[in-house]
Amino acid sequence: MKRKQPKLITGGILLIFSLTLCFLSGREFRSMLKKDKIYPSSGLTEVQKLSHYFPSLKGSPGDTDIYIFSGEEAGGNLLILGGCHPNEPAGYITAVLAAENIRVQKGKVLIIPQANLSGFTHNDPFEGNPQRFPISTPGGDRWFRYGSRLTNPVHQWPDPVLYRNPAGQKLAGTEYRNLNRNYPGRKNGGLTEKVAFGIMELLRLEKIDIAIDLHEAAPEYPVINAIVFHENSAELAAIALMELQMEGIELRLEESPKNLRGLSHREWGDFYSIEAFLLETANAAHGRFKGKPSTALILEGKDNNYVKAGRLGRLFVHFDENGIPLEERAARHIAAVKALIASHNELHSESLILFTGLPDISVLKKEGIGAFLKPPK
């Protein structure tokens, strides 16, 4: 009996330690369910849920908000999609920034800041990234979630060993939870396939003319600082690129590969013949070479490992001690969106889309994103 006592004490301490650890990590995990606040501009016409277009999503973790801005005059219809990959903050923040500033005069602009809403409710534990990052506004800090590339496994599980997506492409099993491999979606599929199907329904029912999917990628990824275009919009993309070059913004044009199926630009363009684009900027927090993950890395984009990799010629973008801050990445997205719409208007006078409010990119880079976001309420 005497010999058993130390074992009981050690066991008790270990049990209390494990329970405390479970409680704290559970609390952290659940904290990601708390939604980010978005304050749309006074030009907002209505907010809809994705389930408005595909009722089967109603009340599900994929039923994301859609901010709709209608002009007084009818015209063309634009969809801006952010947060397809919630670990690509420039895509997400550019969509938020657009929703909080845009005013539409002609046509209609629909903005989805969190396309994969479930992906915002967790992050990738092995990446060590913070769960949130702050953006300072004159009225205080706004906090935004830094989620995962994939749908939360709590909402969609298990992954198959091999995933055959709705477009027939065979992929690794985890891609079953990657929204940008799930198009054109499945009506009765997994949650991610249903979200993809809902977005396809929105494109059809809202008669979208041009859709732009905002992303980021690691600086070592070859398709970076790029406009990926569906081949039906090659001329439009070329005109936009010339406009961007005249403004001193270097971007590459990449044609959407025909044999890589399930991606937004490929399936949107193939299904509805709309002008479909995907934009990529370089996010060091996303990459395999990154050093210590932190909010500073997400916001300032500075990383010594990437400076070294750049010197060794291993990157597809210029990367020096100044890093690639979030302002610069969001500015590239905004400049490309403006150029694509100007180019659309040049080619399609029958479906003009006219809006104001998106910041001048030199002012955005100088004053920061927070200058263009509403203060927290």
In angstroms, the CA 145 to CA 106 distance is 33
Q: Which is nearer to Zn ion, 38 or 90 (CB)?
A: 90
Our finding on whether 286 is near Zn ion (CB under 5 A) is no
State the Cα–Cα distance between residues 120 and 332, nearest whole angstrom: 23
CB of 88 to Zn ion, least distance (A): 5
Indicate the burial class of 295 (C-beta count within 10 angstroms; 0-12, 13-18, 19 or more). Answer: middle
User: Quick one: 148 or 156, whose CB is closer to Zn ion?
Assistant: 148
# residues near Zn ion by CB under 5 A: 3
145 binds Zn ion (CB under 5 A): no
Nearer to Zn ion, 116 or 345 (CB): 116
| Residue in 281, 284, 264 with CA at minimum distance from that of residue 166 | 264
- Cα dihedral 51, 55, 61, 62 in deg (nearest 10): -50
Strand 65-70 to 103-112 pairing: antiparallel
Q: 223 or 354: whose CB is closer to Zn ion?
A: 223
Site string for Zn ion, 87-116 (x = CB under 5 A): -x----------------------------
- Of residues 215 and 265, the one with the C-beta less far from Zn ion: 215
In angstroms, the CA 133 to CA 119 distance is: 16
| CA 86 – CA 145 distance, rounded (Å) | 8
| Binding residue for Zn ion, selected from 52, 85, 290, 329, defined by CB under 5 A | 85
Indicate whether 142 belongs to the interface with Zn ion (CB under 5 A).
no
Which position among 108, 145, 215, 290 is part of the footprint of Zn ion (CB under 5 A)? 215
Angle (nearest 5°) at CA 230 between 286 and 63: 60
Interaction pattern, residues 26-65, with Zn ion; x per rule: CB under 5 A: ----------------------------------------
Q: Does residue 265 interact with Zn ion by CB under 5 A?
A: no
Residue 118 near residue 93, CB atoms below 8 Å: no
181 binds Zn ion (CB under 5 A): no
Kindly list the residues in this chain that would bind Zn ion in the complex (CB under 5 A).
85, 88, 215
